[in-house]
Amino acid sequence: MSEAVLRLAGLEKRYNPGRPNEVKVLEGADLSVAPGEVVALVAPSGAGKSTLLHIAGLLDTPDGGTVEIAGHDMTGAGDRARTATRRGAVGFVYQFHHLLPEFSAAENVILPQLAHGVSAGAAADRAAALLASVGMTARAGHRPAELSGGEQQRVAFCRAVANGPQLLLADEPTGNLDPTTSDTVFDALMGLVRETGMAALIATHNPALAARMDRIVRLEGGRLVAG
Ligand code: ADP
């Protein structure tokens, strides 16, 4: 059996603990995602998808349970180790894209590679290939403010996978794309997953998209159940 890229066990998370406005979000959530597997995370708004993705991506810590990424148990790891694992092994596509406004689409995909030690030429080639795979070649020189929300989302996807992460986490990655563009981005994502053996956990409200993934898990009552 191949080692899971992401393993979450017994995750607990509550906000405002012990206060009248306490919210129990995760109550024993378990999930394993294998290399090359794309898992859809489906739940109503407010159920805790973003919370779960942030914990899985080491942007937040659970109150209980364990998070293992690429075989490394991150429970109790210090900030430095968490940051190193996040930068080295995890790609994140957020609902809001957080692209760097003063740089072009291509530069937004090139910069994280340079920070990772990739040469300028190789980084530019990879950025061009990734942007082409999501139909963004003609917009590669545009800054984020000159791009539509859907175009920014496509750039954000290219940036997230630029360094070949073992784990891709995405929060509604095709939420503001029209159906045709959504299919293009999804096809590019599936192609990359199959090619690289990356594992992906993708929150979506779109049932048709969820149905195209390898497996669906639902977040219900703070736990993950097969969909
Ligand atoms: P989803 O992504 O499924 O919409 P979230 O993970 O964003 O859900 O939120 C889960 C629940 O936790 C919601 O009820 C939300 O209001 C609450 N919540 C999220 N973040 C905080 C916070 N920082 N403080 C208090 N409550 C929060």
Residue 54 Cα: closest atom of ligand 1: 6
Compute the CA torsion angle 37, 56, 27, 221 (nearest 10 deg): -50
Domains of the chain: residue spans and CATH: 36-61+78-218 (3.40.50.300)
Rounded-to-integer distance, Cα 200 and Cα 202, Å? 6
Query: Running along the chain, 227 residues long, what does each successive block of 10 average in pLDDT?
Result: 86 94 96 96 92 96 96 92 92 85 98 95 97 94 92 91 95 76 83 89 89 95 94
Q: For the sheet containing 72-73, what is the strand order?
A: 23-33, 6-15, 64-69, 72-73
d(CA 59, CA 172): 17
Residue 173 Cβ contacting ligand 1 at under 6 Å: no
Neighbours of 72 (CB within 10 A): 13
pLDDT at 112: 94
Strands 90-93 and 167-171: parallel
Kindly state if the Cβ of 48 falls inside 6 Å of ligand 1. Answer: yes
* Whole-number Å distance between alpha carbons of 29 and 223: 4
Answer whether 18 contacts ligand 1 (Cβ < 6 A): no
Residues 2 and 157: their CA atoms lie apart, in Å, by 26
CA of 86 to the centre of ligand 1 (A): 22
Which H helix or E strand runs over 36?
none
The DSSP call for residue 178 is -
> What's the one-letter identity of residue 15?
Y
Q: Is 23 in the pocket of ligand 1 (CB under 6 A)?
A: yes
pLDDT at 2: 57
Q: Which residues pair with 104 in a beta bridge?
A: none
Largest CA distance in the chain: 56
Residues 85, 68: Cα–Cα separation, whole Å: 10
Q: Is the pTM of this model over 0.85?
A: yes
Q: Ligand 1 atom 25: the closest Cα is on which residue?
A: 15
Backbone angles phi, psi at 166, to 5 degrees: -75, -25
Q: Name residue, tokens 């210090």.
A: 78
Q: Kindly give the distance from the C-alpha atom of residue 51 to the centroid of ligand 1, in angstroms, as a whole number.
A: 7
What is the rounded CA–CA span in Å between residue 170 and residue 94?
6
Please provide residue 177's backbone torsions phi and psi, each rounded to the nearest 5 degrees: -105, 150
